Amino acid sequence: METIIALSSGGLPSGVAVLRLSGPSARQVLSALGADCPQPRRAKFCTLKDETGQPLDEAIVLYFPAPHSFTGEDVVELHCHGSQAVVQKLLQLAIGHEGVRLAEAGEFSQRAFENGKMDLTEIEGLGDLLDAKTEGQRALAMRRMRGGLSQKVHHWRTSIVDLLAEAEARLDFSDEGDVEDELPPAFQQDIDKLIQDLTTALDSFEQGQIIRDGYRVALVGRPNVGKSTLLNRLAQTDKAIVTDVPGTTRDVIEVEIDIGGQLFSLYDTAGIRETDDIVEIEGISRSYRAIEQANLVIELIDGTRNEGPVYPKADWHILTKSDLTATSMDSRETLPISAKSGLGIADLLDRLTEQALRQKDSRETQLISHTRDKQAIEETIKHLQSAQDLTKPLELVAEDLRRGTVCLSRLIGLVDAEDILDRLFAGFCIGK
């Protein structure tokens, strides 16, 4: 097994940089740098030396002997100064050793997976954690990384394996007379119960996905009502072009914002109206596509004009440009706002947070956040439903159950993990 090394901390220069070595030669590299190996898991201050014995840098060194390390192998961490020259030199000296090379993207995590330190969903949780921008994403990712989903999957899988054992016992020993031929009445109930549990878990998918990928809000309405102005105000950018020409926005413009720890994706869309302009027609058809994908559709209505909604099915209607209108017509349905003066914006943000939190169940259940989870659970349910039909030969019932376990095994990476891992690690950075 080769030893790998990478810069595991961020961009240089920085106060401190962490180089991580994993593999059987990790300790030798350390001693070649003139440092004695510290006590396991104890920080030690060392002067690292170059090939001529000259001081190269001062560093804090940590040693995690196998198997009690992130990767399950011998791991050495060098906390050196975050200097381009220091890091380059250390990397160059390390890979000069026989059997030591630079790590590839995600390779530390891959070794952790291969050595059974983390399963597939836990690795995905780690990836989500590193990508997390909001508090909600962080909490969700942490639960996944710490085995929240794995535990559930193991539990479901064990339950199916128990049922499978019942069925197989009757197949194997049916002529020996010491096992009842009939399945116990609890068999059917246990399957029902499992289907119920899995269905409940599946129900949390939408919420999990909203936390992970963001709550999608489409801003729609007639041209010139102030959609782009509101998007810019909420996201504190000038990403969307604002003019007084109706039909300014042609493409859907997406921005991500953090409101109260929840990630929102806001979509500014082309104003909806009858038109012969082919560019605008395409823009409007994109507006409708954004509407289809949104969790919440807000139609903006120009409060200075006497026009009704153009998309009455919108979840909310809000009145814009209220800085120009004299009287406030506040109601639950039509909140008056002004993206110019800021009137009503705080209230709008509150309502958005409230709305995104509305479907939130207890934190426990929000573990299903990847499409992969959803598919695996749906498939498992399908096989269990097929196993509910006990009028068919027992062999077939057993086969349904076995397939159910395979779906769950795949979810945590017990089988067929390679494809998923390749895709996953491709998105990881070096040193992870």
Ligand X SMILES: Nc1nc2c(ncn2[C@@H]2O[C@H](COP(=O)(O)OP(=O)(O)OP(=O)(O)O)[C@@H](O)[C@H]2O)c(=O)[nH]1
Residues forming the site for ligand X (CB under 6 A) = 223-229, 242-244, 246-249, 270-271, 320-321, 323-324, 338-340
Among Mg ion, ligand X, none, partner that 223 touches (CB below 5 to 8 angstroms by kind): ligand X
Under a CB-based contact definition with an 8 Å cutoff, are residues 379 and 406 in contact?
Answer: no
Tell me: is residue 328 an annotated ligand-binding position.
no
Residue (of 296, 273, 322) closest to 216 by Cα position: 296
Residue (of 153, 217, 179) closest to 407 by Cα position: 153
Tell me: is residue 227 an annotated ligand-binding position.
yes
CA distance 171 to 384: 19
Quote the least distance from Cβ 247 to ligand X, whole Å: 5
Tell me: is residue 341 an annotated ligand-binding position.
no
Quote the least distance from Cβ 76 to Mg ion, whole Å: 55
CA distance 184 to 163: 10
State CA 338 to chain mean position distance: 35
Residue 260, both tokens: 């109260």
Q: Does 248 bind Mg ion (CB under 5 A)?
A: yes
Among 232, 249, 295, 409, binds Mg ion (CB under 5 A): 249
Total of residues contacting Mg ion (CB under 5 A)? 4
Quote the least distance from Cβ 258 to ligand X, whole Å: 22
β-partners of residue 77 are 20, 62
Tell me: is residue 77 an annotated ligand-binding position.
yes
Given the structure tokens 């030199």, which residue do they identify? 89
Among Mg ion, ligand X, none, partner that 134 touches (CB below 5 to 8 angstroms by kind): none
Q: Does 275 bind Mg ion (CB under 5 A)?
A: no
Quote the least distance from Cβ 295 to Mg ion, whole Å: 21
Cβ proximity to ligand X: between 178 and 274 the closer is: 274
Cβ proximity to ligand X: between 244 and 292 the closer is: 244
| CA atoms within a 13 Å half-sphere pointing along the CA-CB vector of 130 | 18
Among Mg ion, ligand X, none, partner that 339 touches (CB below 5 to 8 angstroms by kind): ligand X
Tell me: is residue 121 an annotated ligand-binding position.
no
Q: Show contacts with Mg ion in window 228-247 (CB under 5 A).
A: 228
Q: Does 334 bind Mg ion (CB under 5 A)?
A: no
Tell me: is residue 392 an annotated ligand-binding position.
no
Tell me: is residue 193 an annotated ligand-binding position.
no
Cβ proximity to ligand X: between 131 and 277 the closer is: 277
Strand order in the sheet with 100-102: 44-49, 55-64, 75-82, 14-22, 3-7, 100-102
Quote the least distance from Cβ 239 to Mg ion, whole Å: 11
Tell me: is residue 52 an annotated ligand-binding position.
no
Residue 16, both tokens: 């401190």
Cβ proximity to Mg ion: between 204 and 269 the closer is: 269
Tell me: is residue 245 an annotated ligand-binding position.
yes
CA distance 310 to 301: 9
Under a CB-based contact definition with an 8 Å cutoff, are residues 314 and 238 in contact?
Answer: no
Among Mg ion, ligand X, none, partner that 16 touches (CB below 5 to 8 angstroms by kind): none
Binding piece for Mg ion, criterion CB under 5 A, among 54-62, 199-207, 225-233, 412-420: 225-233
Alpha helices (H) in 133-277, listed in sequence order: 135-145, 148-172, 185-203, 205-213, 227-235
Among Mg ion, ligand X, none, partner that 72 touches (CB below 5 to 8 angstroms by kind): none
CB atoms within 10 A of CB 259: 18
278 CB-contact burial (10 Å; exposed 0-12 / middle 13-18 / buried 19+): exposed
Is the preceding peptide bond at 67 cis, omega within 30 degrees of 0? yes
Under a CB-based contact definition with an 8 Å cutoff, are residues 36 and 49 in contact?
Answer: no
Residues forming contacts to Mg ion in the complex (CB under 5 A) are 227-228, 248-249
Which amino acids are annotated as binding site for K(+), given as ranges? Answer: 224, 243, 245, 248
Which amino acids are annotated as binding site for Mg(2+), given as ranges? Answer: 228, 249
Which amino acids are annotated as binding site for GTP, given as ranges? Answer: 224-229, 243-249, 268-271
